[in-house]
A and B are shown apart, each in its own frame.
Chain A
Amino acid sequence: MILIKKTQRFLRFMSSMKIGLSLLAVIGLLAAIGSGISTDKYYQALPFKVILGLLLLNMALCTTNQVTKFFKHGLKAEKSSQILLRQIGMMTLHAGVVFILIGGSVYSFQGESTQIKIDQGQTVDMKTIFNQTKPFMIKLDDFNIDFNADGSPSQYFSHISLVENGAVTGEKDISVNNPFEYAGIKAYQSSFGYGVELQGESNTGWKEKKTLQESEFLQIPGTDKAIRIYKYIPNFDPEYGMQSKTLRPDNPRIVYSLYQKGSLLDVGAVSFGEKVEIQPGTTVQFNGVKPFSVLTVKRDPGLSLAMAGMLMLMAGTCLTLFLKQKKTGVVQ
């Protein structure tokens, strides 16, 4: 009995507006401090989560109180429809905050998000990324960039195929602001890059074609030398040095470095098809680049709840504060 009474007293205490506003103030203060500390961990720390949890408890209790009061006293005939609507708005907005906080907690307990790098032509099995998903694969058919007249990027596109049981069952162009969604997984255009297609040959019979990533080495067979891709510059301009003038491949260069037994021998920049002589009789050339795309993939079972909460918060706030107010119409 004592325990029940204590719990009741605690819940009554926790449901008050004073506590709710104090928690909001503390969250505001901590959030403000956190914005000066540029680390993601700050907002994931336990004390911060506990305070958000307490706010959730407070808001849930406060909403429950509002709903009970509304059904007990709210439907009396003498109330104007405006006051009624206002009360509905107030309940909706507080319930919205509860939904957002629950949706957010569902993500922090059950959700996952990571970045995947897919080369053009590569297929990624989503089962290897998220355990709980329906088995399906994503294949990157192509990645390309649309450019504005000035050479700045207008949009990034990953053209993907959805592969299920070995067969292509769908296609989609993922671009910024236009994610792909399937079986509870969402994939967003996040970043991109290029591998460099290298071709090497020597008069001793060595012939090789390989795609190297930036900063990757290739030991040249039959020599003590190695070549390393330093950087791909899509639009080389001496004024910009090692920075590309734009992302548009108007004047592509491959910057490479040559090593002998681990020590730097030479650095150079060549266009596609231009031969680099490693030693007499042995050459390397770069034939082009092969793009890869970086996608953010996410599984968030709380997303629809949080989104519903946001819409409720928005609609409820409009209803509560846009309607003409009478001083007696306030629930709390």
Chain B
Amino acid sequence: MTNYIEDFVYVTLVLYLLAAGCYFLGNKNKSIARTGLLIAIAGIATNLMALISRALLVSRLPITNGAEFILSFSGFTVIAYAFYELKSRNNNAGGVVLMIAAMLVGSIVTLMPEQLGDVKPLMPALKSPWLTSHVLTAIFSYGGFALAAGLAAIQLWRANSSKGEEWIYKIVAVSFVMLTVTIVLGAIWAEQAWGRYWSWDPKETWALVTWIIYAVYLHLYRQKSWKGQKSNMLVVGGFILVLFTYFGVNFLLSGLHSYGG
């Protein structure tokens, strides 16, 4: 199975793209949109297969190198979306969210394909019980923010609905909790590993910037003047910051988190 990691990744990419296409086309045709959901679920299956293969290859949870993180990120985003669609019975954002997931998987094959076969052991700084909780909460928060951004983009693009707003608020709230836990656990870990809980390392700084934009959103959400499109813009902007915290920091700025790229 470990020989097929790349194949699983490519199949996942194709399935997510197909699912996104179906959702875009299925705007007025329910059966095409339902096919989109089925293809998305198949994509989740191959995404998980890729992760399981990585886990078998390196004999640990696949949450350390860049490719593993993105695969977990994309997988959780689509899982969260599938739950949302089944619960809300609304598939308007399917195309956008699946497009985001496809772009994430696409970034692996274009930016870091070698990491899929990488079997290097963990470096000493990563050998910590904090690793699992810190990265898992990061995956949950990133995935949640991706879903919220997809929903907010649809609110901006088409008509704004208060039901949609409530969903976005709930998803952002839970993801914000996860991001807070990620940052705090990271700080506790950094204190143990490097002797400083906050060093203004680029990763920390941009995680804080992301945290701030969502904190602002959560405070302003109930304010009349900010209800509607302005707060949707904050949610989309917040996710752009999430992406920058991951890709921008890993590829443009160097720092203590450099092993993540």
Q: Are B184 and A177 in contact (CB under 8 A)?
A: no
Q: Are B121 and A150 in contact (CB under 8 A)?
A: yes
Interface assignment of A156: CB less than 8 Å from any CB of chain B: yes
B128's nearest neighbour on chain A, judged by CB, is A177
Chain A residue contacts of B128, Cβ below 8 A: 177
B202's nearest neighbour on chain A, judged by CB, is A35
Q: Take A17-B219, A177-B192 as given contacts and tell me if A28 and B208 are in contact as well, using a CB distance cutoff of 8 Å.
A: yes
Interface assignment of B173: CB less than 8 Å from any CB of chain A: yes
**B residues 173-187 touching A (CB-CB < 8 Å):** 173-174, 176-177, 180-181, 184, 187
Q: Are B127 and A27 in contact (CB under 8 A)?
A: no
Chain B residue contacts of A317, Cβ below 8 A: 176-177, 180-181
Bound Cα distance from A332 to B223, whole angstroms: 11
A327's nearest neighbour on chain B, judged by CB, is B222
Interface assignment of B135: CB less than 8 Å from any CB of chain A: no
**B residues 145-178 touching A (CB-CB < 8 Å):** 173-174, 176-177
Bound Cα distance from A332 to B220, whole angstroms: 11
Bound Cα distance from A322 to B177, whole angstroms: 8
Q: Are A35 and B205 in contact (CB under 8 A)?
A: yes
Interface assignment of B197: CB less than 8 Å from any CB of chain A: yes
Chain B residue contacts of A178, Cβ below 8 A: 192
Chain A residue contacts of B220, Cβ below 8 A: 21
- Tell which of B121, B173, B194, B205 touches A152, judged by Cβ atoms closer than 8 Å: B121
Bound Cα distance from A155 to B246, whole angstroms: 27
CB distance from A12 to the nearest CB of B (A): 18
- Tell which of A152, A177, A332 touches B193, judged by Cβ atoms closer than 8 Å: A177
Q: Take A176-B193, A177-B192, A178-B192 as given contacts and tell me if A313 and B180 are in contact as well, using a CB distance cutoff of 8 Å.
A: yes
Interface assignment of A126: CB less than 8 Å from any CB of chain B: no
Q: Are A152 and B120 in contact (CB under 8 A)?
A: yes
Chain A residue contacts of B125, Cβ below 8 A: 176-177
Chain B residue contacts of A150, Cβ below 8 A: 120-121
Chain B residue contacts of A153, Cβ below 8 A: 123-124
Q: Are A321 and B184 in contact (CB under 8 A)?
A: no
Chain A residue contacts of B208, Cβ below 8 A: 28, 31
Bound Cα distance from A311 to B191, whole angstroms: 14
Interface assignment of A221: CB less than 8 Å from any CB of chain B: no
Q: Take A179-B192, A310-B184 as given contacts and tell me if A155 and B124 are in contact as well, using a CB distance cutoff of 8 Å.
A: yes
Bound Cα distance from A303 to B187, whole angstroms: 12
Chain B residue contacts of A36, Cβ below 8 A: 253
Q: Are A179 and B195 in contact (CB under 8 A)?
A: yes
**A residues 306-332 touching B (CB-CB < 8 Å):** 306-307, 310-311, 313-314, 317-318, 321-322, 327, 330, 332
Q: Are B195 and A310 in contact (CB under 8 A)?
A: no
CB distance from B240 to the nearest CB of A (A): 12
9-residue interface stretch from B1-9, B13-21, B24-32, B210-218: B210-218
Bound Cα distance from A104 to B187, whole angstroms: 12
> B98-131: contact bitstring with A at CB < 8 Å (1 yes, 0 no)?
0000000000000000000000110111011000
Bound Cα distance from A188 to B177, whole angstroms: 30
> A94-119: contact bitstring with B at CB < 8 Å (1 yes, 0 no)?
00000000001000000001000000
Interface assignment of B58: CB less than 8 Å from any CB of chain A: no
Q: Take A307-B188, A314-B184 as given contacts and tell me if A176 and B222 are in contact as well, using a CB distance cutoff of 8 Å.
A: no
Bound Cα distance from A125 to B128, whole angstroms: 30
Chain A residue contacts of B243, Cβ below 8 A: none
B129's nearest neighbour on chain A, judged by CB, is A177
> A170-203: contact bitstring with B at CB < 8 Å (1 yes, 0 no)?
0000011111000000101010000000000000
Chain A residue contacts of B10, Cβ below 8 A: none
CB distance from A13 to the nearest CB of B (A): 17
Q: Are A322 and B174 in contact (CB under 8 A)?
A: yes
Q: Take A155-B127, A322-B174 as given contacts and tell me if A24 and B205 are in contact as well, using a CB distance cutoff of 8 Å.
A: no
Chain B residue contacts of A152, Cβ below 8 A: 120-121, 123
Q: Are A32 and B209 in contact (CB under 8 A)?
A: yes
Q: Are A303 and B191 in contact (CB under 8 A)?
A: yes
> B22-43: contact bitstring with A at CB < 8 Å (1 yes, 0 no)?
0000000000000000000000
Interface assignment of B198: CB less than 8 Å from any CB of chain A: yes
Q: Are B205 and A34 in contact (CB under 8 A)?
A: yes
- Tell which of A42, A113, A314 touches B195, judged by Cβ atoms closer than 8 Å: A113
Q: Are B200 and A40 in contact (CB under 8 A)?
A: yes
> Can you list 10 residue pairs at the A/B interface with Cβ under 8 Å?
A24-B216, A27-B212, A28-B212, A35-B200, A113-B196, A153-B124, A154-B127, A190-B195, A307-B191, A318-B181
Which 4 interchain pairs have the tightest Cβ spacing? A176-B124, A28-B212, A321-B173, A188-B195
